[in-house]
Amino acid sequence: MSNGKALVYNQEKCTGCRSCVVGCSLYHDGECGKVVSRVAVVRNERFGESFVVGCDMCTDAPCAAVCPTGACAMDTVAGITKINAEKCIGCKECAMACPFGVINMHYKTGKAFKCDLCEGRDAGPVCADWCPSGAITYTSPNIAFKAKRRVKLMERLEAVKAGEEG
């Protein structure tokens, strides 16, 4: 994350709306659908649970490490791996190496495709821009984690006050 920003996910805020999914697919592919989105939403509707699964911008990225052709490689300026479709041979090794299942094979080309932080978009990644609840943010991780520490601490102190902890 060289420009200081990364995609930071706050799972407890995800509403499962898939605004990220539909925005991503439209921006990158000019059509709308889950199968051409670089971000996914997983839901357990029975329990009201929703989770966003997006690229975690690994610094030591397994997807790049396993790529036999160098198609999947780190863009050090953006701080994220990107896939060069011309070099990609569609072997699926990156998709299988990703610990989170973020990479998929494109239905039109059979080649791998993944998040590229919406390269070329002035306002930054569509998913973070459109997320209605703040489940996806594009921000400085250190600032995000500091804020999270404070929030979590306040919650714990409230619980102590309410006599729920020991």
Partner 1 sequence: MYGWAGQRLRVDLSTGTITKEPLSYEYRRKWIGGRGFNSDIIYNEVPANLDPFDPKARVCFGVGPVSGTAAPSTGRVTVTCKSPLTGGFGDSNMGGHWGAELKYAGYDQIVVQGRAKHPVYIWVDDDKVEIRDARHLWGKFPREADQMIKEELGDEDIHIVLIGPAGENMVRFACTFNDVWRAAGRTGHGGVIGSKNLKGIAVRGSGTVKIANPKAMMDVCNRLRQTFKPDPMKIGLYEFGSLCLINVANRDGWFPWRNFQGGAHPLANNMSGETHAKTVLKHREGCFACPICCGRFTHIKEGKWAGEEFGGPEYEHAVPTGPRVGIIEDANDIWHNARLTNDYGMDGIETGGVISAAMEWYEKGLITTKETGGLELEWGNAEVVDKLIPMIATRKGFGAILAEGADRASDKLGLGDKGHYYTLTTRGMTLPGDDPRGLGFGYGLSFAMGTRGGCDHLRSLCCLELSGALYPGLNTKILGDERPNKPVTTVGKPYMVFYEENQKATTDCLQVCCFTTHWSYAVLTPDQVEYLNAVTGLDFTEEEFQEIGERVYNLERAYWARQMSGAREDVVPERFTTEPMPQGVDFQTNVGVVFPLSEMLKKYYKYREYEPGTGFPGERKLKQLGLDYVAKDLAPLRSKYLSESEKKKKKYYY
Q: Does 129 bind partner 1 (CB under 8 A)?
A: yes
The contact mask relative to partner 1 for 45-74 (x = CB under 8 A, - = no) is xxxxxx------------------------
**Is residue 132 a contact point for partner 1 (CB under 8 A)?**
yes
101 binds partner 1 per the rule CB under 8 A: no
Distances from the Cα of 29 to the Cα of 34, 44, 80, 165, angstroms: 11, 28, 20, 51
Binder among 8, 9, 10, 22 for partner 1 (CB under 8 A)? 22
Instruction: Out of 42, 143, 151, 159, point to the residue binding partner 1 (CB under 8 A).
Output: 42
Which residues fall within 8 angstroms of residue 47, CB to CB, at 6 or more apart? none
Binding segment for partner 1 (CB under 8 A), chosen from 1-9, 77-85, 94-102, 124-132, is: 124-132
CB–CB of 37/21 below 8 Å? Answer: yes
Which listed residue (1, 29, 139, 144) binds partner 1 by CB under 8 A?
29
The whole-angstrom separation of Cα 47 and Cα 119 is: 36
H-type alpha helices, 93-136: 93-97, 126-130
| Minimum CB–partner distance for residue 116 and partner 1 (Å) | 16
| CB hemisphere CA count around 102 (13 angstroms) | 22
